[in-house]
């Protein structure tokens, strides 16, 4: 799963992010009857956008998710969508929470995000080997090159 590449029309991509966000005032609300409901809502919203949840964990006062996000979607727009729509869906499903979280604000402002990328040494090795590969292909080529500036 770690090296799985996805693709769009002309793009190969592997964009993974570790995201942490909290309920308003860091209330310990994500447990008991709400835990499964919130988990299902977050899964559903990610599926709508084509975002794969690789790993996720709901703590009593915060959420950790490791997601694979296509490069056509920015993290800020995804988080705005996820937190906004999930808050509306949570309040629709659990109407009693409206009184604890006035004005439909379930999540706190902001979030933590960190990229989960390839190792720098691996990338340098790939670049070095790619150059060797190109040189080898050039040596195997039987095509004669003519100087375009010769008359």
Active site residues: 126
Provide the CA 49 distance to its chain's centre, in angstroms. Answer: 11
* Nearest of 7, 75, 71, 60 to residue 30 by alpha carbon: 60
Residues 6+ apart with CB under 8 A from 18: 64, 65, 66, 112, 113, 114, 115, 116
What is the DSSP-derived secondary structure letter of residue 56?
E
What are the tokens at 60? 């009593």
* Nearest of 96, 108, 105 to residue 26 by alpha carbon: 108
d(CA 90, CA 36): 11
Contact 54, 1 (CB under 8 A): yes
């Amino acid at each position: 799963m770690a090296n799985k590449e996805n693709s769009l029309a002309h793009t190969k991509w592997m964009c993974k992010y570790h995201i942490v966000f909290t309920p308003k005032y860091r209330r310990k609300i994500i447990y008991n009857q709400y835990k499964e409901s919130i988990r299902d809502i977050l899964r559903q919203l990610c599926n709508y956008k084509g975002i794969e949840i690789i790993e996720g964990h709901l703590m009593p006062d915060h959420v950790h998710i490791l997601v694979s996000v296509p490069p056509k979607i920015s993290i800020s727009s995804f988080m705005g969508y996820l937190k906004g729509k999930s808050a509306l869906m949570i309040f629709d499903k659990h109407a009693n929470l409206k009184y604890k979280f006035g004005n439909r604000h379930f999540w706190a402002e902001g979030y933590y995000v960190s990229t989960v990328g390839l190792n720098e040494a691996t990338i340098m090795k790939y670049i070095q080997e790619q150059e060797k590969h190109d040189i080898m292909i050039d040596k195997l080529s039987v095509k004669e090159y003519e100087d375009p500036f010769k008359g």
